[in-house]
Amino acid sequence: MKTWSTTDVPRLPIDHEGMPVRVHDTATDALVPVAGQDGTARLYVCGITPYDATHLGHAATYVTFDVLQRAWRDAGLAVTYVQNVTDVDEPLLQRAERDGLDWRELARREIELFFEDMEALRVLPPDHYVGAVEGIPDDVTAVEQLLEAGTAYLVDVPEDEHGVPGATGSDVYLDLSTQPSFGAVSGWTREQMLEVFADRGGDPDRPGKRDRLDPLLWRSGREGEPHWDGGALGQGRPGWHIECSTIAQRYLGPGFDVQGGGTDLVFPHHEMSAVQAAASCGDDCFARAYVHQAMVGLEGEKMSKSRGNLVLVSRLRSTGVDPMAIRLALLSQHYRTEWEWTDQLLRDADDRLDLWRRASDMAAHETITDLGRATVQRVRERLADDLDTPGALEAVDDWATTVAAGEPASGLVVRAVDALLGVQL
Ligand code: 5CA
Ligand code: ZN
């Protein structure tokens, strides 16, 4: 699928390159060095379900992984970045039905708007932007294999739900009891898992399942729902988790470096994606590390499309807010700390942008001062240490304040702010 347009990343003309990056891995609850052994870095980030516009929670997630990508590039790594878009799933179909829209049209419109938001925020596009629908042939192959291996099983569609021609009348589920690695990503207890499973797309009460947590792999086609040819599985559509599992494996290969997304995806989504990959290809086949952006809230609650308590990037932009101020407001919070959006954050970001721009206006492009070098070094150190963006912003604040007091300005810092933080001054 086509992705959004890229922005230039300036190369920094100083001899030492950025340093190896450590981030927090949810699976081991430790700071781990990620990527770099062979000069490459492979990243998968869970993309949007396009039924509503990008809110600041989504934006925080994509800006966080954008900073990771920029730090990797600065360290000289060749990055391959893959992102999916869940262009068919229950929430999208429900919203389209509620609003009397064709679900494809709704998805197309929201994807376009998402692209505009990402471009405005100067988020670098993925190398492969892949729709769930595009991935269906790979899902079918994977599910067929799991059935053959006896790790998946069939559950009859309830009699009052009518099938479409070519559907088998059986849904397919993964048998988690065959998967010893289940639980390794979240480290959660069964009780914790059951507490959220139904709210996060699971169906613990579906009759006929061997275990309440077993995830759906293939949904047999129902009247009024979109469906595709599933080979031996008949007409139908894939479950949610298998989508990311197969896309990551196809475009990144086994043992890629980081699987990313918000903490709302730790369980079930990342747990199930990993276990489904393990079931078809082995324990080392999926991500080496799982990195999660803490939830961004509004007035005491997680910002979410289903709750409707949203601050939209596009709405802020349409009221004339500088996207670079939005980006700075996002970067002012550490990705592992939950935080709430407030207008004050945006005002602070605006002030910071003014301060930085005044310093930038005084900087000759080619000048490299000792202070400039030291500032860039500090920014690199802060980012390499678990993406400490608030610390990186402080380093630039100190530089800008010193410049405002009369110290010669260095164009190097201006370029580093662009290359590493994605902020154009
Ligand atoms: N399409 C699936 C992933 S395969 C999905 O979760 N889509 S989403 O549109 O609901 O979310 C897109 C991304 O934003 C996900 O990585 C999700 O974890 C993240 N996200 C959603 N809400 C928030 C929030 N309030 N704060 C931070 N990140 C969020
Ligand atoms: Zn995903």
Least-confidence region, from 22-26, 104-108, 408-412: 408-412
Query: What is residue 93's predicted lDDT score, i.e. its pLDDT?
Result: 95
Which of 165-169, 223-227, 278-282, 366-370 has the least mean pLDDT? Answer: 366-370
Q: Residues 25-55, buried b or exposed e (16+ Cβ, 10 A)?
A: bbbeeeebebbbeeeebbbbbbbbbbbbbbb
Query: What is the average pLDDT across 411-416?
Result: 95
- Ligand number with the minimum distance to the CA of 110: 1
Distance in angstroms (rounded) separating the CA atoms of residues 330 and 185: 26
pLDDT for the residue numbered 16: 58
Residue 89 Cα to chain centre, angstroms: 17
Testing ligand 1's pocket by substitution, the residue of 1, 45, 46 carrying the most ligand atoms inside 8 A of its CB is: 46
Calculate helix-pair angle for 411-421, 343-361, nearest 10 degrees. Answer: 140
Reported as a single tens digit per residue, the pLDDT across 341-353 is 999 999 999 999 9
pLDDT at 315: 96
User: Among residues 223, 206, 219, which one has the least CA distance to residue 163?
Assistant: 223
What whole-number distance in Å separates Cα of residue 222 and Cα of residue 167?
8
| More confidently predicted of 363 and 55 | 55
Please name the residues in contact with 7: beta carbons below 8 A apart, sequence gap of 6 or more: 119, 122, 124, 422
Would you say the CB of residue 58 lies under 6 angstroms from ligand 1? Answer: yes
401 CB neighbour count, 10 Å cutoff: 12
Measured by CA distance, the residue closest to atom 16 of ligand 1 is 261
pLDDT given for residue 19 in this prediction: 85
What is the Å distance from ligand 1's center to 406 Cα?
44
Q: Is residue 242 within 6 Å of ligand 1 at its C-beta? A: no
Index of the ligand 1 atom closest to the CA of residue 84:
4
Q: Is residue 18 scored above 80 in pLDDT?
A: no
Report d(CA 46, CA 393) in Å as an integer.
Answer: 26
Q: Does position 285 have pLDDT exceeding 90, yes or no?
A: no
**In the block, residue with structure tokens 């516009």:** 53
CB distance 298 to 310 below 8 Å: yes
Fold classified for 322-421 = Four Helix Bundle (Hemerythrin (Met), subunit A) (1.20.120)
Q: Is 372 in the pocket of ligand 1 (CB under 6 A)?
A: no
What values do phi and psi take at 15, rounded to 5? -60, -45
Question: How far away, in angstroms, is 295 Cα from ligand 1 center?
Answer: 9
Nearest protein Cα to ligand 1, atom 3 = 46
Q: How far is CA 423 from the centre of its chain?
A: 20
**Class of residue 364 by CB neighbours under 10 A (exposed 0-12, middle 13-18, buried 19+):** exposed
Query: Ligand 1 in contact with 265 (CB < 6 A)?
Result: yes
Which numbered atom of ligand 1 lies nearest the CA of 302?
A: 25
In the three-class reduction of DSSP (H, G, I as helix; E, B as strand; rest coil), residue 112 is classed as helix
Name the 3-class secondary structure at 291: strand
Q: Residue 224 burial (CB < 10 Å; 0-12/13-18/19+)?
A: exposed
What distance in angstroms lies between residue 58's CA and the mean position of ligand 2's atoms?
Answer: 13
The predicted pLDDT at position 148 comes to 96
Q: What tens digit of pLDDT does each residue of 19-53 get?
A: 899 999 999 999 999 987 789 999 999 999 999 99
Q: Indicate if ligand 1 lies below 6 Å from the C-beta of 53.
A: no
Q: What is the DSSP letter of 404?
A: H
Angstrom distance (rounded) from CA 42 to CA 258: 7
Q: Which is the closest atom of ligand 1 to the Cα of 262?
A: 18
User: Any idea where the domains of the chain sit in the sequence?
Assistant: 322-421
Q: Which helix (H) or strand (E) holds 44?
A: strand 40-45
Q: What is the mean pLDDT of the chain?
A: 95
**Could you report the per-residue pLDDT of 205-214, keeping only the tens digit for each?**
999 999 999 9
Termini Cα distance of the chain: 31
Check pLDDT > 80 for residue 15. Answer: no
Indicate if ligand 1 lies below 6 Å from the C-beta of 48. Answer: yes
pLDDT, mean of residues 242-246: 96
How is the beta sheet containing 339-340 ordered, strand by strand? 301-302, 296-298, 339-340
Give pLDDT, residue 128: 98
336: Cα within 13 Å, side-chain hemisphere: 13
| Amino acid type, 10 | P
| pLDDT, tens digit, 9 for 90 and up, residues 301-325 | 888 877 878 999 999 999 999 999 9
pLDDT score, position 372: 93
The predicted-structure confidence for 344-392, as pLDDT tens digits, reads as follows: 999 999 999 999 999 999 987 677 889 999 999 999 999 999 999 999 9
State the distance from the centre of ligand 1 to the C-alpha of 58, rounded, in angstroms. Answer: 5
| Ligand 1 close to Cβ of residue 293 (< 6 A) | yes
